[in-house]
Amino acid sequence: MRIHQLVMAVALAGILPGAAMIGVAGAPSSASAASLTSAPSAVVTGDAACAADGTYSITWTVQTSGIPDGDEAEVKVITPENAWLYEWAQHSANHGLPALPPNASFTWVQTGVAGTTTTAHVTFQIDWHSYSHDPEGVLTLTGDCTTPPPPPTDVLPETTTSSMDDTSCSTGLVTTTTTTTTYSWMPSSTSRPVATPTTTTSTSTRATTAVECPVPPVDPPVPPVDPPITPDPPITPDPSVTPNPPTILASPITTTAHTGVTPAPPARQQLASTGVDARLLGVGALVLLTGGVMAASTAVIRRRSTR
């Protein structure tokens, strides 16, 4: 393919010098004539980074220009290794890659370059349908990419956590702010990493409790006060009216036992309470009565006899 294109380029240069001039003057419309009047180019630049394993990682960037519209390209890396990046549609069955559009840019990352390397090289092969070019790239390196020293065996400071509550009884919420500080080994300008703190802050909210925000006591309602009662004025008795004394009527109280026996008179009940036999009292009374009668009779007889 490249030989065929080279032959075509030589033929065009040797037998069609007039055609190029005509094309400039007459503004040719064919792609071949346009490719001759344009200036296809491919500029390669590189950017290196020191990886953690002590090797360089180089990103090569290629910018193409001056390519006629519709003229796609195949691209592969020639050095430092062989790798296909793009291919024409008719060759896509080989690697399943797309074609490079005209005037496009692409990148390729080269890894594993020794850390002591001072110069890096790359070569690409770019084949358009009407032109072919093998651009090269050169990058100067410092050569001091080395493996970083292992982390120190020192014990890292402990993780610290602090919390602060902000209680708001007006909103009924408690906002808790938690601050956590952790430490990790970070590289420094010296060969020894340093313990660098990382602080994170988070907040959370919850409802207040009755202990945190007690409810103030509510005074009981005050009952209505009755108006004072004005006492009635005292009644002054009429001196001309003499009140009658109250008359108390004594009613005899008769007690009847359920046995149907009439209770004894009070005198007899009193004697019974003293333990004296009522019959003896009756006999004594009869003797006294008889004696009285006899005395009265004797007195009457004496009075008559004296007359």
Q: Which of 1-10, 88-97, 134-143, 176-185 has the lowest mean pLDDT?
A: 1-10
Whether residue 250 lies inside any domain: the answer is no
pLDDT band for position 278 (cuts 50, 70, 90): low
Whether residue 221 lies inside any domain: the answer is no
Report the C-alpha gap between 116 and 119 in whole angstroms.
Answer: 9
Whether residue 104 lies inside any domain: the answer is yes
Q: Which of 28-37, 82-91, 119-128, 170-179 has the lowest mean pLDDT?
A: 28-37
- Do 52 and 187 form a contact (C-beta atoms < 8 A)? no
Give residues with Cβ within 8 angstroms of 43, minimum separation 6.
Answer: 62, 63, 65, 135
Same domain, 60 and 103: yes
Same domain, 117 and 99: yes
Same domain, 132 and 100: yes
Give the pair of three-digit tokens for residue 274: 């003293």
Q: Give how many domains the chain has, as a whole number.
A: 3
Q: Which of 98, 120, 95 is nearest to 110 (CA)?
A: 120
Same domain, 29 and 57: no
Same domain, 13 and 93: no
Say whether pLDDT at 2 is over 90: no
Which range has the top average pLDDT, 106-110, 157-161, 240-244? Answer: 106-110
Whether residue 183 lies inside any domain: the answer is yes
pLDDT band for position 52 (cuts 50, 70, 90): confident
* pLDDT (average), residues 150-166: 79
pLDDT band for position 248 (cuts 50, 70, 90): low
Q: Strand, helix or coil at 280?
A: helix
DSSP 145-157: --PPPPPPSSPPP
Same domain, 52 and 122: yes
Q: What was the pLDDT predicted at 6?
A: 36
Same domain, 47 and 136: yes
Say whether pLDDT at 57 is over 60: yes
Same domain, 66 and 122: yes
Same domain, 26 and 46: no
Whether residue 111 lies inside any domain: the answer is yes
| DSSP code, position 71 | -
Q: Which of 76-85, 174-183, 290-299 has the lowest mean pLDDT?
A: 290-299
Q: Taking the chain, what is the end-to-end CA distance rounded to the nearest angstrom?
A: 215
Domain span at 133: 41-140
Same domain, 56 and 89: yes
Report the C-alpha gap between 246 and 109 in whole angstroms.
Answer: 138
Report the C-alpha gap between 89 and 276 in whole angstroms.
Answer: 160
Whether residue 261 lies inside any domain: the answer is no
Q: What was the pLDDT predicted at 16?
A: 31
* pLDDT (average), residues 163-167: 85
| Higher pLDDT, residue 5 or 267 | 267
Same domain, 118 and 48: yes
| Higher pLDDT, residue 49 or 263 | 49
- Give per-residue burial for 246-266: e unless 16+ CB within 10 Å, then b: eeeeeeeeeeeeeeeeeeeee
* pLDDT (average), residues 167-171: 84
Predicted model pTM: 0.41
Say whether pLDDT at 102 is over 70: yes
Instruction: For residue 114, give the CATH number of its domain.
Output: 2.60.40.2230
Q: Strand, helix or coil at 287?
A: helix
CB atoms within 10 A of CB 201: 9
Of all residues in the chain, the percent with pLDDT exceeding 70 is 69
Say whether pLDDT at 271 is over 80: no
